[in-house]
Chains A and B, each alone.
Chain A
């Protein structure tokens, strides 16, 4: 493992990371891309290099776009280190890695964090049973292992749910049902944002969404709208899902359920470094505080892509370009004028690409059923802590997520609060009558990924 100083290290091989690394290398910078997976693409373009043409057809043109990104990256002079987990990043530009059982160190003058998004937790009764996965997980199995879901019931709301339904249909495995939890109130609220349609990218997205819904209708997939009070039944595995829709209680027998209520920035690394974060009320999530270049509150640390704020794949790619241009200027490879000239079209593009977000954010906002679940629902999967236990801790004086953590062990399991952090924080905000910015979030500590005591003891600090 090299401990030499690089111009730039990019963390994450999704659209933002790939675009940034390619741009940096293209201007002669010494750029290294680190990623945990074995191949480029992140989650959105997962499996893009090995996907069969037939499957790529089913997955749609947006997915296929990733092939060009990956190819351009491979053709660039950027160094690529796959299967590399990162367990600590310091504000001084040290990146501690783990690759094939050995820990090591990489140093960078500038770091672009492009770790993407993760799914918002969907804590409904029974969500921890085998057979319950995120929609993203089912999509990853389709993309990276060419596995078709059988008897799938999709439940939740958000564009990914409809995309996955359409992809499964195109691949020959229509879902058994789609349980849409988008609420009437949110549908009404979203209508206020339709002025965004003056922008072409917004109209394009709306057309795409309507196309997906049409494909779902044509395939005859039963769709239950305005669903609520979800409950998954089963003893040792999922057997059925029940919910209320159209004033009636429904029960669908199924062994495979995909839940989805939107994605949120993967904030583990930025928090561990000590970057400032702020609550994004429109998107109901925390994100790092950044300027328009992606510069965080810590010098030398930039963030691009969904980790900087949810915008989707095309915005991610654009923001990767923007962050790379900022770094190239810091490295002295571009003057401020040159940087601004090159960045101008990307900045304009990003503004247009983001124009439709307010509509989507309003339409697919998470409901209280998800953000403040009933007492009996498990919220910390690792340590098996329920929403009720969190509320009890608040009544007994826990004033924030970190005290809840020390009272209950919530967030102390292997996932280090990635899954439970958002819902524990929202339960607390509600219980304490605070806005989320005041309540705050878990303090995140390294190691960000598991390393063994032996790996830590043996590490070569170069």
Chain B
């Protein structure tokens, strides 16, 4: 085993790790060594072909098929230089004041988070797309939502030179998405921060990590690692964990931190979601243009958010409930389909947690609470109203039995769409906003880290990813992760000085 020594090691290069890497660049200028260890490979833009299966295989944990322990929900997690910022849609929202105040973390203020978020919104070119770049799928959502009595809002997104491929979730083929792979990491590397890809951290001890660097399999996408394949011991004065919710808590648990940190792995939330589709009488622009430009936020009132979306054929087929002729009716109408993603604002509850198996692989135990099921049902009813108000002929609603609703049945939406039809294992639920597991708080009795991401009892160890969230954020999390990571970097800089 080779030994490498650094001053700071950052595990993960997504919204959290990429941000910390950039902010610690000045340390390198002053003679310190800063390493980023990223599990996934480094991709070139031309490798993002939009080919659904290849991209899912190359970019996502378990090819996009990571399941919760009971198999009832699929979790989407990116693995790449840039983490999940490579394959998200770039939606960038500021954390709501009520949520941050509700977390009740002493020393964490909403104003501070927003100020830091603004900095990254500017750096990453966050803006609202002009009307001419909005496709019919999004336009119909806005029209339908207004007609049905909702207030649609436009997502700010972090794209620059978007050609409207609609392939955001498979990696942007045009290099338009301004994730950490395009902004923070290149700047960090220009400052001398070293990024090592295909580097899997398999254990962590007192100021040292065990790292396994993988070779590139024959025919696999992405570049070879910057280091030779093999096992390494990496020693560092400061370690920042930013491997995400399926990275950080499982690593700490597998490395024996659990007994001293009883809240480790707990507080997991994920905004459980599924897609609804509706068929319009005429073709619409749906698989061209940015897919996720608008949303309706009913988090406070009814515990859900509706977002525009457009998925690829296999993902769409998988997410529609059932099979056979009704299923085929919608799939064969692909050019006429409008889609809405419904997300429940779940709350941290006992039992919903992230863990580690004996090999160190992540596990997630999640039970849908009655409140989540009711939120999903209310969201489904609202989405169905929006579809019909926008002129759809029929709607596929996973919480109706059968799931197909014709336009003539619109008056029966409340009766037809109900939570009692939610049967885990038949409805395809997925989640991409994984949060919690190493929550912030005041002591090990109520949390895993302090308000600056420092792990209780381990001053050399910090967390800088969505694991820090003590509860659901109720919006898309990336900008908030970057703001929290900015605080972590500030803490590290103070430590190092």
Task: Tell me whether A and B are bound partners.
Answer: no
The interface of chain B, by Cβ under 8 A from chain A, is: none
The interface of chain A, by Cβ under 8 A from chain B, is: none
